[in-house]
Structure 1
């Protein structure tokens, strides 16, 4: 547990991608089986060990620590597991604990039993190991490591010995289970695991963002264009009688969309956009969002929000790997393949254009509100995993902007745990300052480290009330918020939900009463 705790601390306080990769590769190399496999599963979200709920943790710590002291500490730290790890009484002598012992012991226990067992372990661990244990037990590591980054570290670990590439690892990933002993053996020079997943995920090809100025350096005739739809990128694989729907990162989401999976009557792998489509009309992203994460959607939900696939590309077909072919050849095969698959599957149309100015006009005024820009692809491009620069570009519509008032602030996590970095912002529901401020979104990105320090100072000196780790603020500071889309939402008091909001700049110069009105957002709803 000590080594894993040290890894988590380094990852949480390291911003650089290459440094994170180095830490991960070093840990996997130095740690024996099965502990490194369980660590990998925890980092990639494949370790189902979320055995303890926050209420049980609070009950557990209440038996050891004064309630008022804990409340004050939690208010300052802002993270429940970190607060408990820091405030728990230190043992006379510290012991260590293996990840295998934690997994093996907690897995069969009920949640109350698991909480009692964790309390016993905490009595013998140092603070860093206590935090690592609590993060494992609650299933919330939050150290800035994606599943793909962890797999990249595996490939880096075996690179010097001629080990598998990250693409080879990802094609086997869904046929492997923790603690991944065979996988680590393969990486260190052993045989390739024999049991690959049926209908495996293939690493996707990603596009590079591009600006109009950058596009001017390229010849329009060297690219074809198609619409960029506002859904989620998926890979539909149906091979050997097994059907799977994957997210762009390789997560199996088949259970959330059985209506689409049922329509995948083909032998191959398609790349496309998951949408909600009613007839010829694509629904707003908010309709799709209702189904994301639903493991078993009901018949009513599937009838109200039918899932569909708008295909961009074809990876394999009837046993043939088509990825090395040029885009134009794959496109012809794609259109032929999808033609007879029924109404739930179609092909994203190409967008004819004469020059960049003409395409810019189409991009600014697309035929449907759910289109968020255009994709540009070289006709001769093969389907390459990762994000090679040049073959594919994405040219998204300009972000929308609104001036809002900061209303609430919450402490961040990891290296931001000492700062207020998560902000709720609001608009005036009528004429300011008599009208109420209505929250319209949350943002925790878009600002520099210096901005973060200034925002943190503002929060600490302009707090009206405290609610645990959240502070209610004097409504004085205006921020310019950028967002990429807007949907109606019955779950929010404002009636709207923003897509990808971020703080574009801080308007220290602007009085709060000059912030925008809620009606300005409502007028933009599709």
Structure 2
């Protein structure tokens, strides 16, 4: 456990992507099997310990200390694993010489009755760093800034491979990945994935620099709307049906209604959306509706009925047993149109090709998309794809571009601040902001969003200082900040769009809010009003 605990500590304190990759390469290269395989599984989210749940951990710690005192500690720290690791009252005994494999395999074989007691014995034998690592392991919430994709890139660097080679076989592997490490270290053959309906590494687009447009031939490119959903790959092979995210995560469990529609043999690349059927096809609901379906292990029939999922297809990677990726986009599009027609599913439709004569005409469409029930404020911008482009995994320069619409901005007032996690745990770094509502002679602030990025480390220190010097109330790890027309801090907030929300008092939920800049120069009384945001809401339809 010591090596795994040290890895987590270093990852938390290393913000740079390349620094994290170097740490992972070093860990995978120096840690023996099967420990490194279990560490990899924990980092990629492929390790599930069913015998221990967060409520059991709370029960364990309150057996050893006053429940109220633990509650105060948890409010201050804001993270369950970190709190228990710091306050755990040890019982005298020898230090435990536990490997990561010892812990994972013992808990994997334990019942829910035995699991908490195994954790208790491990906590007694570990130091604070080891306890933290153990608790993060069993809760599955590492929060060290490592995605599954980043871990795979570290594996690729370890073995001198292309990350695409690893992604192609990933879904046929299982922890502790001993055959994978043997291949990466030149001690064994490349693992052969025999999994049906595998994930195929996706092709990504470059962000378009508008200065490049004059050098591009409009006739060489197809244009499509960039839909405000999530990129997915829908794969069906010999009765096995899977739905993958763009990073290769299997999200099938959250969308059983969509799996039922994959009555074909092949692989579609498209956008997963939530919507409703209409006279001209499937109307797209705002991204907030899709969020109700995401990150769920199970989904109720009621939710599937109220938030039906569908796929807007824009590429065909496999048709039966034929791999279409080497073909040009024009041919794949022709095959896709026939494929979707044969599938005949009301939950799978085509992303339409946008007709245009020149870049100026397309720029006008991007700025003001047509208002109809298939778009209606849900197009984030445009995608440009060369008609002759093969489907190449990764982000090649030139074949595909994404041309996003300019973000919206609003001037809002800082209302609340909360402590962050990891290296930000000592700073107030999560900010809730609001805009003015009510009569102009007696306005009040209503919260409209929350953001925790978009500022530099120096600006974070300035924000933290402002919060501490202007606190009016405290609610555990949250502070209310002085916010009046004549005194407070204005934040210029950028966001991608707005949805209606019954969960927020303002009736509004922001899409991807982030701090654009700090307006120390602007009096809070001059910040925007709620009416400004309401005018940006999509029509009811």
TM-score band, normalised by the shorter chain? over 0.9
Deviation at 1:451, TM superposition (A): 0.9
Instruction: State the alpha-carbon separation in 1 of the partners of residues 383 and 494 from structure 2.
Output: 22
In 2, are the aligned partners of 1:51 and 1:114 still within 8 Å (CA)? yes
In 2, are the aligned partners of 1:459 and 1:473 still within 8 Å (CA)? yes
Structural RMSD (CA) = 2.3
Deviations 1:217-270 (A, max 9, x none): 434333221111111110011112211111111111223222322222221111
Alignment-derived partner of residue 2 in structure 1: 2
Alignment-derived partner of residue 353 in structure 1: 356
The normalised TM-score by structure 2 is 0.90
In 1, are the aligned partners of 2:171 and 2:195 still within 8 Å (CA)? yes
Alignment-derived partner of residue 435 in structure 1: 443
Alignment-derived partner of residue 230 in structure 2: 232
Deviation at 1:419, TM superposition (A): 1.3
Deviation at 1:434, TM superposition (A): 2.8
**Match for residue 459 of structure 2 among 432, 448, 451:** 451
Instruction: State the alpha-carbon separation in 2 of the partners of residues 301 and 87 from structure 1.
Output: 40
> What pairs up with 1:46-445 in 2 under 5 angstroms?
46-49=46-49, 52-64=52-64, 74=74, 76-88=76-88, 94-109=95-110, 113-159=114-160, 164-189=161-186, 190-277=188-275, 278-279=277-278, 280=281, 281-342=283-344, 343-367=346-370, 368=375, 369-431=377-439, 434-445=442-453
Instruction: State the alpha-carbon separation in 1 of the partners of residues 390 and 148 from structure 2.
Output: 25
Instruction: State the alpha-carbon separation in 2 of the partners of residues 307 and 207 from structure 1.
Output: 24
2:498 maps to 1:486: yes
In 2, are the aligned partners of 1:427 and 1:517 still within 8 Å (CA)? yes
In 2, are the aligned partners of 1:235 and 1:271 still within 8 Å (CA)? yes
Deviation at 1:395, TM superposition (A): 0.7
Q: How many residues align?
A: 522
In 1, are the aligned partners of 2:171 and 2:193 still within 8 Å (CA)? no
In 2, are the aligned partners of 1:77 and 1:418 still within 8 Å (CA)? no
Deviation at 1:115, TM superposition (A): 3.6
Instruction: State the alpha-carbon separation in 2 of the partners of residues 334 and 115 from structure 1.
Output: 52
> What pairs up with 1:466-485 in 2 under 5 angstroms?
466-475=474-483, 476-485=488-497
Instruction: State the alpha-carbon separation in 2 of the partners of residues 116 and 48 from structure 1.
Output: 18
In 2, are the aligned partners of 1:432 and 1:513 still within 8 Å (CA)? no
Unaligned runs of 5+ in 2: none
Instruction: State the alpha-carbon separation in 1 of the partners of residues 272 and 303 from structure 2.
Output: 16
In 1, are the aligned partners of 2:228 and 2:380 still within 8 Å (CA)? yes
Instruction: State the alpha-carbon separation in 2 of the partners of residues 432 and 88 from structure 1.
Output: 52
Deviation at 1:392, TM superposition (A): 1.0
Deviations 1:157-183 (A, max 9, x none): 111xxxx53222222222222222222
Alignment-derived partner of residue 510 in structure 2: 498
Instruction: State the alpha-carbon separation in 2 of the partners of residues 188 and 382 from structure 1.
Output: 32
Instruction: State the alpha-carbon separation in 1 of the partners of residues 438 and 253 from structure 2.
Output: 44
The normalised TM-score by structure 1 is 0.93
CA change 1:442–1:53 in 2 (3 A) is farther
Deviations 1:473-524 (A, max 9, x none): 2121111111101111122222111111101111112222222222222221
Deviations 1:282-308 (A, max 9, x none): 222222222223444344433333322
CA change 1:54–1:457 in 2 (3 A) is farther
In 2, are the aligned partners of 1:374 and 1:395 still within 8 Å (CA)? yes
In 2, are the aligned partners of 1:50 and 1:139 still within 8 Å (CA)? no
Deviations 1:85-121 (A, max 9, x none): 2344577864432112212222354557534432322
Match of 2:125, SS state, is coil
